[in-house]
């Protein structure tokens, strides 16, 4: 165990949340623009997308509620915000822009919720918490990108709303590996269970 990990353990961080109630699957910003290293992608995002394909198939088989998110700004940019001051290129993600479309291999089907957002969190100003609560969801299985950005923000807000986040470490990605790994560590200490899809399958089947 690293020195930093031992400090967290000694101070009582890193408790296990486990599964509570019916889970839902949240797929964060797996869109073409974030799959493309020439736009907003890179790093291990393509690998995370590929690893999420069987997760989505299993969620559908188990009839979990499924939520996809996209970053979508108004065609005239009237809803530009502080996020776009930091990353001006995000304003190019319009409703009809191919870069804002969910990647084909994870495209939503009828009955799956698509959340459009203009900030990192899937919860802020979207009504997602109420939608999940209405369906009795207690645990939220999370995949998506980027780990250090929209995934982290959504996980913190999910926890704040009383859902138990389970972050699939092989199904989240970032354009750089250092922030990816740092944020997985920190979420595991404070906000979520962080585990592989294979490990979660064992929990579900057990």
* 41: CATH: 3.40.50.850
Which residue is listed with tokens 């065609």?
Answer: 75
User: Could you list the active site residues?
Assistant: 150
The answer as to whether 6 is a domain residue is no
The answer as to whether 8 is a domain residue is no
- What's residue 3's pLDDT? 57
d(CA 45, CA 99): 15
- What's residue 116's pLDDT? 98
Residue 162 contacts by C-beta under 8 Å, 6 or more apart in sequence?
none
The answer as to whether 28 is a domain residue is yes
Cβ neighbours around 167 below 10 Å, total: 28
- What's residue 1's pLDDT? 41
- What's residue 200's pLDDT? 97
- What's residue 5's pLDDT? 84
Q: Which tokens belong to 154?
A: 């959504």
Tens-place pLDDT, residues 39-56: 999 999 999 999 999 999
What are the strands of the beta sheet with 113-117, ordered from one edge? 113-117, 66-71, 23-28, 139-145, 164-173, 193-195
The answer as to whether 10 is a domain residue is no
Containing structural domain, residue 115: 22-205
pTM value > 0.75: yes
Q: What is the 3-state secondary structure (H, E, C) of the chain?
A: CCHHHHHHHHCCCCCCCCCCCCEEEEEECCEHHHHCCCCCCCCCHHHHHHHHHHHHHHHHHCCCCEEEEEECECCCCCCCCHHHHHCHHHHHCECCCHHHCECHHHCCCCCCEEEEECCCCCCCCCCHHHHHHHCCCCEEEEEEECHHHHHHHHHHHHHHCCCEEEEEEEEEECCCHHHHHHHHHHHHHHCCEEECHHHHHHHHHC
- What's residue 2's pLDDT? 57
The answer as to whether 159 is a domain residue is yes
The answer as to whether 12 is a domain residue is no
The answer as to whether 16 is a domain residue is no
Domain count, the chain: 1
The answer as to whether 14 is a domain residue is no
Which residue is listed with tokens 């993600």?
Answer: 93
Q: What is the pLDDT along the chain (206 residues), one digit of tens a residue?
A: 455 788 998 999 999 999 998 899 999 999 999 999 999 999 999 999 999 999 999 999 999 999 999 999 999 999 999 999 999 999 999 999 999 999 999 999 999 999 999 999 999 999 999 999 999 999 999 999 999 999 999 999 999 999 999 999 999 999 999 999 999 999 999 999 999 999 999 999 87
């Amino acid at each position: 165990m690293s020195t930093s990990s031992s400090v967290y353990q000694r101070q009582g961080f890193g408790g296990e949340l486990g599964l509570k109630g019916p889970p839902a699957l949240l797929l964060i910003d797996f869109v073409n623009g974030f799959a493309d290293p020439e736009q907003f992608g890179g790093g291990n995002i393509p690998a995370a997308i590929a690893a999420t394909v069987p997760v989505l198939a299993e969620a559908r088989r188990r009839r979990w509620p499924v939520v996809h998110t996209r970053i979508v700004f108004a065609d005239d940019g009237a809803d530009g915000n502080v996020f776009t001051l930091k990353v001006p290129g995000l304003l190019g993600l319009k409703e009809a822009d191919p870069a804002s479309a969910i990647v084909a291999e994870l495209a939503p089907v009828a009955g799956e919720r698509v959340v459009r957002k203009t900030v990192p969190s899937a919860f802020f100003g979207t009504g997602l918490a109420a939608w999940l609560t209405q369906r009795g969801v207690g645990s939220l299985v999370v995949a998506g990108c980027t780990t250090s950005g929209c995934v982290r923000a959504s996980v913190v807000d999910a926890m704040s709303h009383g859902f138990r986040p389970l972050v699939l470490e092989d199904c989240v990605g970032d354009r750089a590996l250092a922030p990816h790994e740092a944020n997985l560590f920190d979420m595991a200490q404070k906000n979520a269970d962080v585990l592989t899809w294979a490990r979660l399958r064992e929990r579900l089947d057990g």
